[in-house]
Structure 1
Amino acid sequence: MRALIIEDEKLAANRLARLLVQIDPNIQVIGQIESVRKAVQQFNSGLKPDVAFLDIQLADGLSFEIFDQTQVPCPVIFTTAYDEYAIKAFKVNSIDYLLKPIDADELAAALQKFRHLAAPVPVSVTPNLELLQKAMHMLGQTPYKNRFVVKVGEHIKAIPVDQVDFFFSKEKATFLQTKENKRFVIDFSLEQLENLLDPQQFFRINRSYMISLPAIQDIVSYSNSRLKTFLRNAPEPDVVVSREKVNAFKNWLDR
């Protein structure tokens, strides 16, 4: 069995690697990766482990983001420091979750479970990311932002998230656009907003725009398998959905 460890804590990764070999000397740990970015790069380059152990919180974001950016070609076992009640909430679609510090017996049981899985990977072992994110949100571990504080001259104003049409970046600044066609500069990058906002309410369609569904006035097909959106009060007449985002965008629309 070829195992991949995706974990940003070096000590935890080394301990897991030792436990795996102790449980089964035939297990080969083919790599340790500490970030979402590097995991995506490795999977895109053709890395195909038999099983991957994913820490939920990595150095540059949540491991769920890996599934948004690439195809994970193997079953996964999430590892997490959340309490046992969170673990029970996360047990969906035949995915295992191991509580840190990882217990050797529980690890052995998880490995035994995956040995019974047939190849190719069944649909049932694909994590339901929406349910996982909901569970984490309910447990208060990744609370979504409810409002943004902005400056209006010498005044400070709080803008509720449900009043936001979209966010966009321009000339190294990030702007918040409200449903009332008001625009404010905020101190967050779009990358940060992806982790702060409810993914059911906002979607990052390209490098410059993160939008809400009510802001969309029309969507049309565009060249190179892309889509073109027309947003209410956008600073440009149309905004293109990146080709690599099209499928995920369609799934988001269909929720």
Structure 2
Amino acid sequence: MKELRLVLVEDEVVTARNLEYVLKNLNEKISILAILQSVSEAINWFENNQSPYDLVFMDIRLADGLSFDIFKKVNINRPVIFVTAYNDYAIQAFKNNGIDYILKPFDEQEIEQALAKFENLTKPSEQELDGKKLAQLLDNVNAGLKSYKKSFLVHHRDKLLPLETAKIAWFYTSNEIVYAHTLDDKQYIMEFSMEQLEQQIDPALFFRANRQFIVNRKAILEIEFYFNGRLSVKVKPEPTEHILISKVRVSVFKNWMNN
């Protein structure tokens, strides 16, 4: 592989590190020019950066909005490979320089195939993605849309029980232990981190409210205005702690609730 200069737009630190590791493992000539964690940071970098770059890997849902907002403010004139946990932005992604659409959790083979696709598209010259290639890419995306976990096996006393994902009211983490609390007010310890769960459950049904909570749409009773532009989410069953949406996540949460 040839030398590549990449930019990563990803707000999950663990995911960014994992992606960087996979990329450099595939091609030691890859250099990461920047890891950008928000829409505002990315706009500032692309607006002021003088270093040439070849390719962008970009998440879609960032802490302060959708990455598509970046394209409204600055000119990104290089191809973009979108890496996201959400499968409902494919068409919009390909309208914004997208050449591939990878669903989390990704594996090394998917990243390798995306890099190979980039190389094929830029040989023998830097060329625009034509309609035929775009249609083919969309077909590939539709064929590989992610299916989400419908149930988890959880420990209960001396047994393993199947727990339906749709019956989980909220996930909660405390002291590095993750719990699933069900709509009928039962609680189980999970064997996954919050980040792993976020990639396995349907984003149309669940929302990452903050570092401690992921909430099920079905459990939400009402939303109250809270201090400093935040929102307080009332759910049933009621947890012992407030479920707060930070000011920067309010618009994302409202969009999710309106869908």
TM-score, normalised by the number of residues in structure 1: 0.64
Distance 1:136 1:161, change over 3 A: farther
Structure 2 Cα separation of the partners of residues 163 and 143 of structure 1? 17
Structure 2 Cα separation of the partners of residues 95 and 191 of structure 1? 27
How far apart are residue 252 of structure 1 and its match?
Answer: 0.5
| Aligned match for 1:100, one of 115, 118, 133 | 115
- Percent sequence identity over matched residues? 20
Aligned to 2:108: none
Structure 1 Cα separation of the partners of residues 160 and 235 of structure 2? 27
CA contact (8 A) 1:80 1:100 kept: no
* Farther off after superposition, 158-167 or 229-238: 229-238
CA contact (8 A) 1:90 1:97 kept: no
Which string of whole-angstrom CA distances, capped at 9 and with x for unpartnered residues, describes residues 65-123 of structure 1?
Answer: 44766763443633389xxxxxx9786435330643112238711399xxxxxxxxxxx
> What is the correspondence of 1:241-252 to structure 2 with a 5 Å cutoff?
241-252=245-256
CA contact (8 A) 2:229 2:246 kept: no
Which string of whole-angstrom CA distances, capped at 9 and with x for unpartnered residues, describes residues 108-143 of structure 1?
Answer: 11399xxxxxxxxxxxxxxxxxxx9xx858515x44
Q: Which runs of 5+ in 2 are unaligned?
A: 9-18, 84-89, 101-113, 131-137
| Aligned match for 2:149, one of 125, 128, 145 | 145
CA contact (8 A) 2:55 2:80 kept: yes
Cα-Cα RMSD: 3.8
Q: Which runs of 5+ in 1 are unaligned?
A: 18-30, 57-62, 82-87, 113-131
Which string of whole-angstrom CA distances, capped at 9 and with x for unpartnered residues, describes residues 133-162 of structure 1?
Answer: xx858515x442221111111111011111
**Higher RCO (CA 8 Å, separation ≥ 6 residues):** 2
Aligned to 1:78: 80
* Residue 37 (structure 2) pairs with residue 40 (structure 1): yes
Q: Which runs of 4+ in 1 moved over 4 A?
A: 49-52, 65-71, 88-91, 135-138
- Paired amino acid for 1:40: Q
Distance 1:79 1:227, change over 3 A: closer
Structure 2 Cα separation of the partners of residues 239 and 201 of structure 1? 17
Q: Find the residue that maps to 1:162 and give its secondary structure.
A: helix
TM-score, normalised by the number of residues in structure 2: 0.63
